[in-house]
Amino acid sequence: MGLLSFIFGYKKNQVKEYLENGALILDVRSQEEWDRGHIDNSIHIPLDDLINRIDDINHLEKPMIVCCQSGVRSAKAARFLNLHNISAINGGGWVSLNKQL
């Protein structure tokens, strides 16, 4: 098994585990990106608005799988959520995450 297969296989298993535990998909892209397409039933909160919406997310009492366009913003968002005691993982880009669902 190559390194990339190992890394992406782990992420796929992590996403599956989170979904089995009732996780919600949180998309942190801009409104314009969201309007061009998104995962059905996902929650949209742009990364810049996340700090102001942390209480809304906390009240959901669900783990989060965070996605964006490429995985960079979602990594930042997942770290931020974890710092606020919300269980979250970086799901990467929304298109590839959508293929796993």
52 to 41, 49, 55, 57: CA distances (angstroms): 21, 5, 8, 10
> pTM of this prediction?
0.88
The mean pLDDT of the chain is 90
Q: Per residue in 48-65, pLDDT tens?
A: 999 999 999 999 999 999
By three-state DSSP, how is residue 72 classified? helix
Picking from 51, 74, 72, 73, the residue whose alpha carbon sits closest to that of residue 64 is 74
Percent of the chain with pLDDT over 90: 82
